[in-house]
Chain A
Amino acid sequence: MAGIPVMEGNLAEFALADVLGVLGLSRQYTRLELFFRDHEPAGSIFLKSGKVVQAVTGTTMGREAFMELIQAPVASFRVMRVEMPALIPEPIDTVTSLLMEAAEREDDGPQTTRMDSHEEAAFELRVHPVFRALTEDAHDRATPVAPFPAVTNPQSPGTVKSGMRPIAPSSACVLAIASPKGGAGKTTVALNLALGLTRRGLDVILVDGDINGDVMSAVDARAVADVGVFDVLLGKGRIEDALRGTAVPNLRIIPSLGAVFPSAAVTVDDHTEAWRELLGNLGRRAQVVVVDTPAGMFGTTHQILGASTHVIGVLQAEVIAQRSFTMFSRGLEAVDQSARPVVLGIALNMLQPGSAESVDVLARACADLPERILFDTAIPRSSAFLHAAAEGVPVMLDGAEPAAVSFLFDTLAAEVLDRLRSTATDIGVAREAVLGS
């Protein structure tokens, strides 16, 4: 039966259930053709007006063929609009009913899914003696927060899991958050992006590389830290003692400062090698290490950049920040080319939609920056950040119903992950060159 090709796509990008949901709303007579990874056909599903009229595989037809196709490791699809036969057979069932039945069958069957595998791996990490001690410590000190909402795994309707679908980059990466200008919101971005990444199922370590210690200020916990990252750099403390668990199971923090303020020389001397060793070590303990850097692109930031695999620039949506942003690229150029991090993107922060000047910075960034380097997600200036700071929690965890702006860190985390995956080769190269692992 010939037909007119209407749509095609990759099932890594679109869940099969979602494609069926779309076609189920259509009144056209369509044939959904499914293919395995090697482009061999897996079978077809015929739909009309929300009903599955027929399903066929190489060996079966009807309801069982539909169930077989739903479970099959299909990789791509094509939608054909086909001529309606003179006599349409009695439909198998509605799309909705069949998808529900498929979900029930999956619930009754073996439960090993990609997500389960990931969670098993994460569990293995957590039961490592070092991590177990940290986790227990975290639970002892944890401030109760609202649990992350459970969501339905789009790949498996009806299978409810905690958190979002984990999509990990191929190997750990060290992601510096940098800006030439102070007050651009690096700490806010670093903290909430780290949380956003954990919400997507990743193990994250957030390192406060700014001697001001603003990460701990943001969560109102400065007094908690005994050992800081600068103690570790100076050989006066161990990583294990600096790592702090948090109320979020997959998030650990290394504060900037411990109980004793380090020598002022720590910000002057070159600790690039110590940063490489430290961040390399952390990169083997988590899937993503997020490093909040001090303002400016030189000094400590320069050293951290030389030890990072990736960097995100934070551009404040105001004119002075825009004018000084040329220093972002100059700062990167000053890093030895062999150790220079990949620029993952630039996040616009503190956008004020009501201000023509602020919006103008956005418009100019869109026009002047290379295509796709600016993240789609821009963070607005919002009183929600002030409220969260007053409460001593990240905005994403401020109350049972966090402000709408917190949603944006989920979308930013999704963009970051997409870009990390697309630069996976670069990550491997950068890791090898920079971290020696």
Chain B
Amino acid sequence: MTVSIVVVSHSEKIADGAVELAAQMAPDVALLAAGGTTDGRIGTSLEKVLAALDKAAGGDGVVIVTDLGSAVMTAESALEFVEDASEMVLADAPLVEGLVAAAVAAQGGGDVQAVKRAAEAVGGPARQAGTTALQAVGEGPVTGSGPDYTGDFELVNQAGMHARPAAKIAGGLSSLDAEVQVNGVDGASMTALMTLAAGKGSVLHVEAWGADAERAVNYIGGLVQAGFGEP
């Protein structure tokens, strides 16, 4: 059993498509789409969201990712109707990137808060100023003190850094108590890692702060040296 994820979108196609995409990287995670209105229009439907939450309930908790404005409001409203919403949280994250990051974190065994953090660490345009995601990203460097642990690792797999390796790094870090920077970007953000465009032979400079700093660096080192399980 893992954390389940509910996708609330104005469009049925977007919700279904996002679920299809994330399912590739998280085959064991229950991903439930709640897109569009009950009569097939663009919009969000409380009925659909409640039905998805109902299916998702009873496991290790539920993380909800949403698209635009009223999807957030519909999801929040749905939580008012649910009998026990204690293990159900909304993630403030871009829908597709947040969903994939969340799904990978859930696949890796992260709990509700870890999965939510993984989604929010994606670092798309934040909807509200001062979100925890932005603060978390800033925490390490802002203190001005050097990292607690560092490491340099050369990419050995043919394809270098791309979606799956980035998802593995970001997903694994979500369950560790550490702020990690990889070549200056947030290691918990799948999209930030992908923007490094690091090919085979590039070196990843990993800096980590926090209680699990050493584990975090070793985790990334292990993945890189094993070529992320790729040729």
- Our verdict on whether A and B bind, yes or no, reads no
Which positions in B face A, CB cutoff 8 Å? none
Instruction: Name A residues whose Cβ lies closer than 8 Å to a Cβ of B.
Output: none
